């Protein structure tokens, strides 16, 4: 414990409030105004402040990909960036991927190919896969393996994940 924190606790004073910021996040086509601790990550803003729990908190270090979302059409591990950094950007979560009650083709392909087991990593896998196709990096299994390597599936559903991505990539 830091010396100043120890003194504060011993004196009976409350620690100082963390700095708060007003931000506006554009998520899934809706604008949200929030007042949050300046240190809140995008992942925590989505989950704790907006109730969008599709992106999962896995490693909290950007290594597992469970928290992957799209920002301006590119994949981002949302646990590494502060929410305030994403003001004015278009954020898409798994909740915003489908349209008019219809599954996104990648969501449908994941279901068809049984590309999940426990499902914990699935939202991040799907978001990353959608971006992978937009980036035109799904030409071969080796490409898919390489460019999806930031998304870990502890259940080992990788062959089925690749099959789902191949199907959607093949549809153009």
In the 8-state DSSP scheme, what is residue 172? -
Rounded to a whole number of angstroms, the CA Rg of the chain reads 19
Q: What is the pLDDT of residues 11-33, one digit of tens each?
A: 678 888 889 999 999 999 999 99
Are 123 and 69 in contact by the 8 Å Cβ rule? The answer is no
Distance CA 172, CA 168 (A): 7
Domain spans in the chain, listed from the N-terminal domain onward: 3-95, 105-170
Q: What is the pLDDT of residue 18?
A: 85
Distance CA 78, CA 172 (A): 27
Q: What is the pLDDT of residues 62-110, one digit of tens each?
A: 999 999 999 999 999 999 999 999 999 999 999 999 989 999 999 999 9
Distance CA 116, CA 154 (A): 10
Global pTM value:
0.89
Q: Token pair of 63, please?
A: 């290594």
Nearest alpha carbon to residue 84 among 44, 40, 47, 50: 40
Q: Which residues contact 120 (CB under 8 A, 6 or more apart)?
A: 56, 58, 66, 154
pLDDT score of 165 more than 80: yes
Q: Which CATH superfamily is domain 3-95 in?
A: Beta-grasp domain (3.10.20.30)
The CATH architecture of the domain made up of 105-170 is: Orthogonal Bundle (1.10)
Q: What is the pLDDT of residue 9?
A: 62
């Amino acid at each position: 414990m830091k010396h100043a924190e120890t003194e504060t606790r011993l004196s009976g004073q409350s620690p100082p409030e963390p700095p708060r910021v007003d931000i506006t996040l554009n998520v899934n086509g809706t604008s949200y105004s929030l007042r949050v601790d300046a240190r809140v990550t995008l992942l925590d803003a989505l989950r704790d402040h907006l109730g969008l729990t599709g992106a999962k908190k896995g490693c909290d270090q950007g290594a597992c990909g469970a928290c992957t979302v799209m920002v301006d059409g590119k994949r981002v591990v949302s646990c590494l960036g502060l929410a305030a950094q994403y003001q004015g950007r278009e954020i898409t979560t798994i909740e915003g991927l489908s349209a008019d009650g219809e599954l996104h083709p990648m969501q449908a392909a994941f279901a068809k190919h049984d590309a999940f087991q426990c499902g914990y990593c699935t939202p991040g896998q799907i978001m990353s896969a959608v971006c992978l196709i937009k980036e035109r990096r799904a030409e071969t299994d080796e490409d898919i393996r390489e460019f999806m390597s930031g998304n870990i599936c502890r259940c080992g559903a990788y062959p089925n994940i690749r099959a789902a991505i191949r199907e959607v990539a093949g549809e153009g």
